[in-house]
Structure 1
Amino acid sequence: MNEATTESITLPVVGMSCAACQHHVEEALRSTAGVDTARVDLMAHRAHVVFNPALVQPDSFIAAIRNAGYDAVLPRSGTNGPEQPVPQSGSTLKASVAIGSGIIAMLLGMRMDAAQEPVVRWFLLGLTAIVGAWAGRGIYLSAWRGLRHGSTNMNTLVALGTSVAFLYSAFVTITPGSVSTPMVYFDAVLLILGFLLLGKALEERAKHRALAALDALSRMKPVTARRVVDGIETIVPLAEIGPGDRVLVLPGERFPVDAVIASGRTTVDESMLTGESTPLDRSVGERVLTGSLNYDGAVECVAESLGEETVLARITRMVEQAQSSRAPMERLADRVSAIFVPIVLVLAVLTFAVWIIATHSLAQSLSSTVAVLVIACPCAMGLAVPAALTVAVGRGAQLGVLFKGGEALERLANVDVIALDKTGTLTVGRPVLETIQPFGQFDERTLLRVAAAAEERSNHPLAHAIVDRAHALDLSWQAAEDVQIIPGRGLTARVEGHDCILGNAALFAEMALALPAGVSAPEAGVTRLWMALDGVPVAYFDARDALRPSASAAVAQLKQAGLRVLMLTGDSESAAQPIAEQAGIAEVEPGLDPAGKLARIRALQQEGFRVAMAGDGINDAGALAAADAGLAIGSGADLAQEAGDVLLLRSDPAVIAAAIGLARQTLRTMRQNLVWAAGYNLIGIPIAAGALYPAFHILLSPWAAAAAMAFSSVSVLANSLRLRGWRPSA
């Protein structure tokens, strides 16, 4: 399907309770004509659909979801999806009433004689019917809708188990003496529903905490702004602010738009956006971001990016998309969940048959069958991977790490080699011009003016060094013409009637321009830029960059994590080697153009390594895309950000180590959850069926099976929530 003809929409979905529900909704959407892809998020109760609007409209998705036995609504006008997951309210109250009634029923049952207390049984019959219908209404309706549409889910097992127990107990109560060993299971019915609803309430609370990072981002955007027109301040809805409007932000307020400060100075807190805990100074001409907190100065700003184009909106979208994405590990859980409920139904039938043949006890056969149906609910299996992924993506956003999805996170967790760019990644990325050395008739100011004109449109750090020096000397220049950037080499331009070439020695060699003889090599740590006018070398510029303060500690952390660390750079060996030594990197490969970096990444992969690449420049984009996991520095070029699998919002090498550490811990948590969920069912179902009875005379009552089932789901979520407190190692 052509991307240009597709649109996407995110719909809130009501009624999903397990991975089987998720599978049914996805299949219903994917089978709708005109749908390209459909992805359902069980954690947040929403479906993301990519479709061809010429073939299908969103109303058809609502109909498809309802036909599958669930419900959905279109998002509010002006949005493409829900800001919050659909709440599952009332579970706590219903759980409390059902468990309380179940305890009463259990105590009465323990104190009465079945044949002599019919009044008590009739009371319990009425109590169970009323409370069960009220508390379990959603469960039974979901199971009925699934049955009507030929599908099964967790509610199918619970509804079937409790219905069988209730109908048998009602039969014994209404026709006393019809069964030789009359037993009633009213307490089991109520406690099963109660524990299930209690588990749902705890799950919803845990899910809300798991999605807290996204909620926090959505709350950071103010709804009004102080617009200033001709010196007059007016508070207006944020929707009325347009590009170029002047906005006043007072101390203690959040910036309502991405803007540039026009007057005043202040300190801002961007920790919720970039993970940068240190307040940052901002003055005239510097940019501020939507949602960041203005600490101590009243500033007037000129609005730039608005609405969905702000950095905050982009981060929010990325976090939401990543949280609703699928990790490869989840595919196993999906396959198991799709066939799990039918298998359990078969096992329940077998359990009933074995018990009725072995004991001829209808009561005991029903008890064990109900226990199997209830304990086997696949909630934990469906939550195992998405719960961990959701929490990890939110925690990553708080640390300044944006994972683009579950697959990106898994790939990053499995890398064993990390390749680092030098300029802007390990170094500050803002070299300072130290030397201008002319060779001929042009003086330093003329050469600097011409070089600044050529480099003005370049985003390379050396270009910034030249332009900054020219501005510092109050030089002015005519705009250059025919500027051609040669990634990893330099540029060519037409300036003041001269054909200008600025680049490294490799570029001059490619253009057959001989460098002057007898020129001393650059000092250690210095990057040299050569300049030629009209085909004649006329000067060189020497600039020096500084290692970032956290670089050496970050490299040490990467090595401690068992990673092989390399530096890949386009700089000369004399410029790269001192930086590598300061950072503690033994393997340095200098003089690489974009193709060279890409070739080195592929060579490492062919050797069997899983490679991560971290960089921030246009010349890193190919290597970022080819690596098993690309980490793009957020302050870098947009192309690098698009190519990366992980976006680092701070230009700090420590965040690279944090991203890999969080990814690895998340993968461990996913595996723990899957092992627990699978092990729980593999052990719990045989015990519920009575496997321990022949040797130990141990049986699992239906209500105990319900409690165990609820505990299983909650334990998976609780284990995942531990990621909220994860911190990078010092």
Structure 2
Amino acid sequence: HGERIAADGIVESGSGWADESHLTGESQPEAKTAGSKVLTGAMITDGSIVYRARQLGSQTLLGDMMAALSEAQGSKAPIARVADKAAAVFVPAVVGIAALTFVLTWLVKGVWDVALMNAVAVLVIACPCALGLATPAAIMVGMGKAVRHGIWFKDAAAMEAAAHVNAVVLDKTGTLTEGKPEVAAVYLRPSENTDENELYRLAAAVEQNAAHPLARAIVQTALARGIALPEARNVQTEAGAGVKADIDGIGEVKVGKPAYCGLTLPENLDSVWQIASIVAVSANGRALGAFALADHLKNDSKQAIGRLKAHGIEVYMMSGDNQGVADYIAAQLGIDRAFGNMSPRDKAAEVQKLKAAGKSVAMAGDGINDAPALAAADVSFAMKGGADVAEHTASATLMQHSVDQMVDALLISRATLKNIKQNLFFAFFYNTLGIPLAALGFLSPVIAGAAMALSSISVLGNALRLKRVRID
């Protein structure tokens, strides 16, 4: 308790709460029990755990993050080419202006030392330090701010591309939703004297040895309710239909598709039944009820969509699920454009269509099926811990499995690009104003040097201001 985790590892015993905000950007502590992963630098704020180290030093997530941040901060954004191109013209032009100043001042005033002082003042005031600092200073601060929010950009080019995004394509499963089915509703046949706990008890008893995600969801819910599961004997699986087994005191229990269990659902059930996976239960040929299992939305998905719309960014959802499921999820989130029955190739093709229409497209996903679309987008975001191919393809990685965090990334990128443009303006403004004054003799080399230093300080000060910029 009250100590930091020294290396990435696995909890062997005990329980507690870990503050991992330095890596994930998530301010709420994470519950840790036996089998949970713990990350280097996390603070155990409550409880006590014993863990076994698995990764040390640079191999830890923190070490990887620091290496990635160092590489990204040292990379060059495309907008830096503006300064490079300007410098290519600027330097010889300034040398020419200084030489011309020397000659004209000497001819007009006839005093060579005054001419030399004016020429030197031109060279000093025109020193392009601020121009060189404008982009890297803002990039370093912006990258640091992104990391504090749990966002890893691969390089400065990815951050600049994110600043131009005006259309976002989102995968559904595992991105907007949790990616695992949960019991959303329970139906009990009025004619049968069965309560919910009994339905869970029978279904979980039959399904407890099954590996299917729907079966696991029912068993986990039953156990969470504290229901004791009886032993199931003579378990038989009928492919594509369901499972049946004998339970002492009950008889033959079937769990599976409604038709397999002889259940016909009424038509007036809630809309969730229209899009959910349905698991029915029967005992000795009498249908008892059914479970509707659906993939629940992540807590912050709706908020994220609202933020995207508020900032003028169009939102598209693409899913491999059928169109009905896609439309239902889209309606819950306020997404106007939803595409169902999308293959990986279809997703990539749709991203290309949006780009051809002049959109700057960001894509967020976490699965292997998202990799082609991630590669096709102008900038792409993958969830940490998702499919490796998605993470390697993406321009940036989100430490939380959260679309809301992607919105943070886009807004931080916009703020950084705006800061770079302000810095470039300051740099050009000082030189544009200072060179004529120096050439005309209004600035001595000492004052010119002070002004040049002030321009660099103003650029650095403006870049540091990024740390305090609010991301709404």
1:216-615 to 2 correspondence within 5 Å?
251-338=1-88, 340-433=90-183, 448=207, 452=211, 463=213, 465-470=214-219, 523=272, 526-528=275-277, 542-615=292-365
1:641-656 to 2 correspondence within 5 Å?
641-656=391-406
CA distance in 1, matches of 2:373, 2:350: 8
**1:622 alignment partner in structure 2:** 372
Closer, same or farther: CA 415–398 of 1 in aligned 2, 3 Å: same
CA contact (8 A) 2:125 2:434 kept: yes
CA contact (8 A) 1:436 1:444 kept: no
**2:198 alignment partner in structure 1:** none
1:529: Cα distance to partner? 8.3
Aligned residues: 420
1:49-128 to 2 correspondence within 5 Å?
none
**2:382 alignment partner in structure 1:** 632
Local SS of the residue matching 1:295? strand
CA contact (8 A) 1:267 1:280 kept: yes
1:500: Cα distance to partner? 7.4
CA contact (8 A) 1:433 1:543 kept: yes
Closer, same or farther: CA 545–648 of 1 in aligned 2, 3 Å: same
Aligned residue type for 1:528: S
CA offsets 1:535-563 (integer angstroms, 9 cap, x no match): xxxxx995212222222222111111111
The structure with higher relative contact order (CA 8 Å, sep 6+) is: 2
Aligned residue type for 1:523: V
CA distance in 1, matches of 2:433, 2:399: 45
1:355: Cα distance to partner? 0.3
CA contact (8 A) 1:449 1:475 kept: no
1:526: Cα distance to partner? 3.8
**1:41 alignment partner in structure 2:** none
List runs of 5+ in structure 2 lacking aligned partners.
188-201, 224-228, 243-258, 280-289
1:596: Cα distance to partner? 1.9
Equivalent of residue 448 in structure 2, options 705, 708, 712 = 705
Local SS of the residue matching 1:297? strand
1:646: Cα distance to partner? 1.5
1:175-254 to 2 correspondence within 5 Å?
251-254=1-4
CA distance in 2, matches of 1:310, 1:425: 25
**1:720 alignment partner in structure 2:** 463
1:524: Cα distance to partner? 5.0
1:428: Cα distance to partner? 2.8
CA distance in 2, matches of 1:710, 1:620: 49
Aligned residue type for 1:291: G
Aligned residue type for 1:687: L
1:412: Cα distance to partner? 0.9
Local SS of the residue matching 1:301? strand
List runs of 5+ in structure 1 lacking aligned partners.
1-250, 438-442, 456-462, 478-495, 503-514, 531-539, 694-698
CA distance in 1, matches of 2:64, 2:303: 30
CA offsets 1:285-328 (integer angstroms, 9 cap, x no match): 11111111111223110222222221111111111111011100
CA distance in 2, matches of 1:588, 1:525: 17
1:525: Cα distance to partner? 7.1
CA distance in 2, matches of 1:330, 1:447: 64
Moved more, 646-655 or 570-579: 570-579
CA distance in 2, matches of 1:501, 1:675: 68
CA contact (8 A) 1:388 1:670 kept: yes
CA offsets 1:490-548 (integer angstroms, 9 cap, x no match): xxxxxx9998799xxxxxxxxxxxx9999879835744389xxxxxxxxx995212222
1:678: Cα distance to partner? 2.0
Return the TM-score normalized by structure 2.
0.80
CA offsets 1:447-480 (integer angstroms, 9 cap, x no match): 846851xx5xxxxxxx4x5435456678999xxx
Closer, same or farther: CA 475–569 of 1 in aligned 2, 3 Å: farther
CA offsets 1:77-125 (integer angstroms, 9 cap, x no match): xxxxxxxxxxxxxxxxxxxxxxxxxxxxxxxxxxxxxxxxxxxxxxxxx
CA distance in 1, matches of 2:461, 2:296: 44
Aligned residue type for 1:724: K
CA distance in 2, matches of 1:569, 1:524: 19
CA distance in 2, matches of 1:500, 1:518: 16
Aligned residue type for 2:418: R
CA contact (8 A) 1:550 1:654 kept: yes
1:436: Cα distance to partner? 11
Closer, same or farther: CA 284–450 of 1 in aligned 2, 3 Å: closer
CA distance in 2, matches of 1:409, 1:592: 28
Local SS of the residue matching 2:179? coil
Closer, same or farther: CA 586–527 of 1 in aligned 2, 3 Å: same
CA distance in 1, matches of 2:159, 2:116: 46
Aligned residue type for 1:596: D
Closer, same or farther: CA 682–722 of 1 in aligned 2, 3 Å: same
1:591: Cα distance to partner? 2.0
CA contact (8 A) 1:402 1:646 kept: yes
Aligned-CA RMSD value: 3.2
Local SS of the residue matching 1:259? strand
CA contact (8 A) 1:269 1:294 kept: yes
CA contact (8 A) 2:204 2:218 kept: no
1:149-168 to 2 correspondence within 5 Å?
none
Moved more, 465-474 or 253-262: 465-474
Equivalent of residue 678 in structure 1, options 421, 424, 428 = 428
CA distance in 2, matches of 1:610, 1:705: 43
Identity over aligned residues, as a percent? 39
CA contact (8 A) 1:528 1:543 kept: yes
Q: Which structure has the highest strand share of the two?
A: 2
1:684: Cα distance to partner? 1.5
CA offsets 1:201-254 (integer angstroms, 9 cap, x no match): xxxxxxxxxxxxxxxxxxxxxxxxxxxxxxxxxxxxxxxxxxxxxxxxxx2221
1:581: Cα distance to partner? 2.0
CA offsets 1:405-431 (integer angstroms, 9 cap, x no match): 111011111111111122222223332
Moved more, 660-669 or 602-611: 602-611
Closer, same or farther: CA 523–468 of 1 in aligned 2, 3 Å: closer
1:349: Cα distance to partner? 1.4
CA distance in 1, matches of 2:167, 2:107: 61
CA distance in 1, matches of 2:215, 2:9: 27
1:330: Cα distance to partner? 0.8
Local SS of the residue matching 2:94? helix
CA distance in 1, matches of 2:208, 2:119: 87
Aligned residue type for 2:381: L
CA distance in 1, matches of 2:122, 2:372: 54
CA contact (8 A) 1:525 1:577 kept: no
Which structure has the bigger radius of gyration?
A: 1
